[in-house]
């Protein structure tokens, strides 16, 4: 699947990476993708479907991690083929890069792993677009070294994503200065709206969140001039098997995106 021009789309719009946190099943994935595709087509927003085939970073051993790698990756491929949209998923180890690249269009490097040289090099060498999430522990300036590793490995198809910075032991805060700083490296930059509202390290072992502020973070990012948004969404976040506490309810996506398109048009 061809990746759209992520910095200068014909519509002048931002692009959207959206979908469930984890692939829970084929029916759910297709339902979410179809609804997002309908909305983004109407609003002329380039869309990349997001879903993790496996969740490796969990607080508790009994947390949901996935339905099986091959099964989930095949669902991601089916979503892409059915709706003619690019797809993105996380990888966690160098050995996963080539495998995942057979099924998806964009390989995503999780924030905690953004300094892992072998992982970045393996992702770069697949030739796929690589989306690197900025570590919660890093400044925007520090991400130039992740970009350098990918470029030095022969890959110029790079996206950087901000997902907030650790604030104390169990909260996140967004420093919007990081968006233009990372754009200065000559790559598209995304604001991960939903993960930046996480409240990690809760005593229950289940990450909390502040979904009521999703619109606030998204509007601010668009006003700053971000190239794209990353939003995890689910028909019923309360029943989602991963990260439900900070997801956007799917029914609320169209109204939010409509507002964001208006802001984008206003600042242009």
DSSP letters spanning 171-192: -EE--TTHHHHHHTTTS-EEEE
Tally of domains in the chain = 1
- Tell me which residue range forms the domain holding 166: 15-267
Confidence grade of residue 15 (pLDDT, cut at 50, 70, 90): very high
CA distance 268 to 264: 6
| pLDDT of 172 above 60 | yes
| CA distances in angstroms from 28 to 24, 192, 194, listed in the order given | 7, 22, 19
Quickly state the pLDDT bin for 11 (edges 50, 70, 90): low
pLDDT tens-place string over residues 21-80: 999 999 999 999 999 999 999 999 999 999 999 877 655 555 666 788 999 999 999 999
220: which 2 tokens? Answer: 């601010």
Average of pLDDT values for 172-195? 96
In a domain, 137, yes or no: yes
Mean pLDDT, the chain, rounded, equals: 90
pLDDT for 142 beyond 80:
yes
Confidence at 6, pLDDT banded by 50, 70, 90: confident
Residue 3 lies in a domain: no
**Is residue 251's pLDDT more than 80?**
yes
- Does 94 have pLDDT greater than 50? yes
Tell me whether residue 10 is in a domain.
no
* pLDDT over 90 (residue 240): no
Distance CA 190, CA 147 (A): 14
pLDDT in tens, 97-107: 999 999 999 99
CA–CA separation, 60 and 250 (whole Å): 27
Looking at the domain assignment, is residue 115 inside a domain?
Answer: yes
**Euclidean distance between CA atoms 268 and 93, whole angstroms:** 40
Tell me the C-alpha distance between 151 and 157, whole Å. 9
Q: Is residue 111 part of a domain?
A: yes
Residue 203's pLDDT is: 45
Asked if the structure places residue 1 within a domain, the reply is: no
**Residue 254 — pLDDT band, cuts 50, 70, 90?**
very high
Which residue matches tokens 């009994």? Answer: 62
Looking at per-residue confidence, does 1 or 108 come out higher?
108
pTM over the 0.75 mark: yes
CATH number for position 149: 3.20.20.70
In a domain, 4, yes or no: no
Where is 32: in which H helix or E strand? Answer: helix 26-43
What's the pLDDT at 60? 58
| 173 within a domain of the structure (yes/no) | yes
Tokens of 2: 């061809």
Q: What are the C-alpha distances in Å from 3 to residues 46, 48, 80, 221? A: 9, 8, 12, 22
């Amino acid at each position: 699947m061809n990746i759209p021009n992520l910095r200068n789309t014909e519509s002048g719009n931002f692009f959207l990476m959206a979908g469930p946190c984890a692939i829970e099943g084929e029916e759910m994935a297709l339902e979410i993708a179809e609804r997002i595709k309908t909305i983004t087509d109407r609003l002329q927003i380039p869309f990349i479907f997001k879903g993790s085939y496996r969740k490796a970073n969990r607080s508790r051993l009994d947390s949901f991690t996935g339905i099986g790698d091959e099964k989930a990756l095949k669902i991601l491929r089916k979503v892409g083929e059915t709706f003619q949209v690019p797809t993105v998923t996380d990888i966690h180890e160098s050995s996963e890069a080539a495998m995942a690249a057979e099924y998806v269009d964009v390989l995503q490097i999780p924030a905690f792993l953004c300094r892992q040289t072998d992982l970045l090099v393996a992702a770069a060498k697949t030739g796929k677009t690589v989306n690197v999430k900025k570590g919660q522990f890093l400044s925007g300036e520090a991400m130039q070294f992740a970009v350098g590793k990918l470029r030095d490995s022969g890959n110029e198809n790079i996206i950087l994503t901000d997902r907030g910075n650790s604030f104390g032991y169990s909260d996140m805060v967004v420093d919007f200065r990081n968006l233009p700083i990372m754009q200065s490296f000559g790559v598209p930059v995304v604001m991960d709206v939903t993960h930046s509202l996480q409240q990690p390290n809760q005593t229950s072992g289940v990450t909390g969140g502040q979904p009521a502020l999703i619109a606030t973070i998204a509007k601010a990012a668009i006003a700053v001039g971000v190239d794209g948004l990353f939003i995890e969404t689910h028909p019923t976040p309360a029943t989602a098997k991963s990260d439900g506490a900070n997801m956007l309810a799917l029914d609320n996506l169209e109204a939010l995106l409509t507002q964001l398109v208006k802001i984008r048009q206003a600042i242009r």
